[in-house]
Amino acid sequence: MKLLKRVSEVKAWRQLSNSLGFVPTMGALHDGHLSLVEKSKSQNEQTLASIFVNPTQFNDPKDLQNYPRDIEADCALLNKAGVDAVFLPEADEIYQDKYRYRISESEFSKILCGAFRPGHFDGVLTVVMKLLNIVQPHRCYMGEKDYQQLQLVKDMAATFFMSTDIVPCPTLREPDGLAMSSRNRLLSADQRERAPRLYQALRRSDPIPTVVQDLETFGFKVEYLEEHFGRRFVAAKLGHVRLIDNVEI
């Protein structure tokens, strides 16, 4: 597996590929990320993954500081999964403009997570645009776990006539239903035990205020529980750890 740190290195490596799948991540990898890698490997001759904790998508500096990082373990997992190359850029190289230029969307990015994390999706869309321009993959694999993000990236790619196909991938869950997430490793043992209630809440047919109240009783601080486009979406905090999930209704 090739380790690529500079934009110029990715561009040079990329020239050799006629069929390239791309899996962008923020690291602290789990089986959900690896399912994206697997799908990419089944549909492309080469797969490149990136690990970049994108500072511009964090509206809370403490959240950025506490975000789990484990580059060595991540590279070992990607290598074992058969990834051809991994891109590990520094923030200074990605943001040479100091974030003077950015992509923003004015409707769908303002609801759900966008309403609670000002500027979050500007950061997401900007970094994905930059990464897609650097890597120029044929296909880019993204999880339905972050459904709003997936739809916004799909819409951005269509809006700007980009040639990468954005491929949605189903949410991988722990045996108790909790959606796999890098943030799960920040949960205490007690919080981890309560966390699957979030997924259970998405599947209950009781009125939404009742479900919210029950979650609050179990110590969740609910940001939203809403239905849009035939899906139910939830975001809630357990202590300082913010968890999101969604299901088709």
By C-beta, is 14 or 120 nearer to ligand AMP? 120
Q: Is 33 a catalytic residue?
A: yes
Using CA atoms, how far apart are residues 9 and 3, in angstroms rounded to an integer?
9
Quick check: 145 and 183 in contact, CB under 8 A? no
Phi, psi of 199 (to 5 degrees): -65, -40
By C-beta, is 14 or 39 nearer to ligand AMP? 39
Quick check: 7 and 136 in contact, CB under 8 A? no
Pairing of the two strands 139-143 and 165-169: parallel
Q: Strand pairing partners for 247?
A: 232
| Residues in touch with ligand AMP (CB under 6 A) | 25-26, 32-33, 35-36, 142-143, 145-146, 169, 171-172, 179-182
By C-beta, is 196 or 214 nearer to ligand AMP? 196
What would the two tokens of residue 229 be?
């486009």
By C-beta, is 109 or 181 nearer to ligand AMP? 181
Using CA atoms, how far apart are residues 206 and 120, in angstroms rounded to an integer?
31
Quick check: 166 and 144 in contact, CB under 8 A? no
Q: Which of 33, 120, 138, 228 is catalytic?
A: 33
| Least distance in angstroms from the C-beta of 144 to ligand AMP | 7
| Least distance in angstroms from the C-beta of 196 to ligand AMP | 13
| Least distance in angstroms from the C-beta of 243 to ligand AMP | 11
| Least distance in angstroms from the C-beta of 168 to ligand AMP | 9
| Least distance in angstroms from the C-beta of 206 to ligand AMP | 25
By C-beta, is 56 or 212 nearer to ligand AMP? 56
Phi, psi of 122 (to 5 degrees): -60, -45
Q: Tell me how many degrees the CA angle 197-194-202 measures, rounded to the nearest 5.
A: 10
Quick check: 141 and 36 in contact, CB under 8 A? yes
What would the two tokens of residue 94 be?
């990605």
Quick check: 27 and 181 in contact, CB under 8 A? no
Q: Could you list the active site residues?
A: 33
